[in-house]
Structure formats: C-alpha cells, structure tokens
C-alpha cells in the first residue's frame, strides 16, 4: 500500500512539474516572439455576420502601428518616439502625453496572440496542421472580459508562434478569434504625415 501511495505521489509530482515546464515553455516562446524583432500580427474576430480585422505592427521595444477595421469604420493609432497619434476620419491627431506614454508602455509589455495573462496552459506536443509540423499549446485567453480557449501553433525550428485560433459561445452565438504572427525585419514605424 505504501509503495502504491509513493508511486501515485510521484505521478502527481511529475504531472505538476510537467505542467509548470509547459507553462514556462509557452511563456518563453511568447516572450521570444515579442522580443526577437519587428513583427506583424494579423487578427480577426467574428460573431455571426460581424467581423473585426486588426493589423498590429510592432518594432520592439515600444513602437507600434495598429489598424482596426469594423463594420462601423476604421481606427488607427501610431505610437513611436514617446508620442502617439490617432486617425480620426482621415485626420491624424496627436494624443496627449500621458496617453502616449501609457500606450507606449502597453505595447512594450503586451503579449502576442492573445497570450497576456494566459491561464491553464497545456502542451499538445507535435501537431500536424495542413501538412506542416508544429508544436501546439492550448490556453485560456482573456479577451474583452471573456475567457476564450485558444490554441497556438509554434514553428519548432525557430520557436516562434505562427498562428492562434479559438472559439467561444456567447448568447447563442459562436465567437471566433484567429491571428497570424510573422517577423517583419524591414518594418519601420514612423510618425504620420503632418497636415
């Protein structure tokens, strides 16, 4: 009986250690993807016929250009050099210094592919998607005050994320989220043109 208990305890401890290693591996991959250099994330969120497309370009540590398209119109923000601008109906307007500083800090610290505050990280191991081998991870992402189960696929050679996707039910509708990550070594974030 004692031997069975020790074996059971070893399995539990091994599982907890593997889960901790998995979460640490996931965090390292997401951090590496954030710090490795300029990158572009193209994301889409949809519920029924409603669709939002977001293109986020980031030059670490703190420059970004975000363009969001919704049925109600487009929104655009540029943050660089300690300043920020918002595009309002085709006109670029400077944002106040406190807002610019906060946005710059947010972009510098943000996770990628909805990985901020990821919970319940699970390693899926090697996963084949459309004939390509990836490392897979599942996690719960906080998106707009909801918890969304997500799956991210990582290139095993570069250890960079490639794509994430997730779905959730809300009010009888299915919300879908997806994003792709790509390095963009030639990307530059510059202030908008002056009027």
Instruction: Give the angle 129-134-139 at the CA atoms, nearest 5°.
Output: 95
**Choice between 181 and 8, residue whose per-residue pLDDT is larger:** 181
Beta carbons of 86 and 76 less than 8 angstroms apart: yes
The mean pLDDT value for 93-106 works out to 81
List 135's β-bridge partners, or say none: 126, 154
pTM: 0.80
Residue 93's pLDDT band (cuts 50, 70, 90): very high
Res 123: pLDDT? 95
CA separation for the pair 156, 133 (Å, rounded): 8
Res 115: pLDDT? 75
Q: Hey, is 38 helix, strand or coil? A: coil
Res 158: pLDDT? 92
Label residue 76 exposed, middle or buried (CB < 10 Å: 0-12, 13-18, 19+). Answer: middle
pLDDT, tens only, 143-186: 777 888 999 999 999 999 999 999 988 778 898 989 999 999 99
Res 90: pLDDT? 87
List 65's β-bridge partners, or say none: 57, 78
What tokens were used for 66?
A: 């975000």
Residue 110's pLDDT band (cuts 50, 70, 90): low
Pairing of β 119-129 and β 91-94: unpaired
Using the structure block, give the residue that is written with the tokens 């949809």.
Answer: 46
Instruction: Please determine, for residue 132, whether its predicted confidence score (pLDDT) is greater than 90.
Output: yes
CA separation for the pair 166, 46 (Å, rounded): 11
Using the structure block, give the residue that is written with the tokens 């070893």.
Answer: 10
Instruction: Please determine, for residue 5, whether its predicted confidence score (pLDDT) is greater than 70.
Output: no
């Amino acid at each position: 009986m004692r031997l069975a208990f020790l074996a059971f305890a070893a399995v539990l401890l091994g599982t907890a250690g593997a889960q901790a290693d998995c979460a640490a591996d996931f965090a390292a991959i997401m951090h590496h993807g954030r710090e490795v250099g300029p990158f572009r994330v193209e994301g889409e969120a949809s519920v029924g016929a409603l669709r939002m497309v977001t293109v986020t370009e980031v030059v670490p540590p703190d420059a970004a250009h975000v363009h969001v398209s919704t049925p109600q119109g487009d929104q655009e923000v540029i943050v660089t050099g300690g300043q920020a601008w918002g595009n309002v109906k085709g006109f670029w307007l400077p944002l106040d210094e406190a807002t610019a500083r906060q946005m710059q800090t947010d972009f510098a610290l943000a996770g990628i592919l909805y990985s901020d505050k990821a919970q319940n990280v699970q390693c899926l191991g090697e996963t084949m998607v459309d004939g390509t081998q990836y490392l897979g991870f599942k996690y719960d992402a906080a998106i707009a005050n909801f918890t969304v189960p997500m799956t991210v696929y990582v290139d095993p050679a570069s250890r960079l994320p490639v794509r994430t996707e997730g779905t959730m039910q809300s009010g009888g509708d299915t919300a879908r989220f997806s994003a792709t990550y790509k390095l963009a070594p030639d990307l530059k974030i510059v202030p908008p043109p002056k009027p």
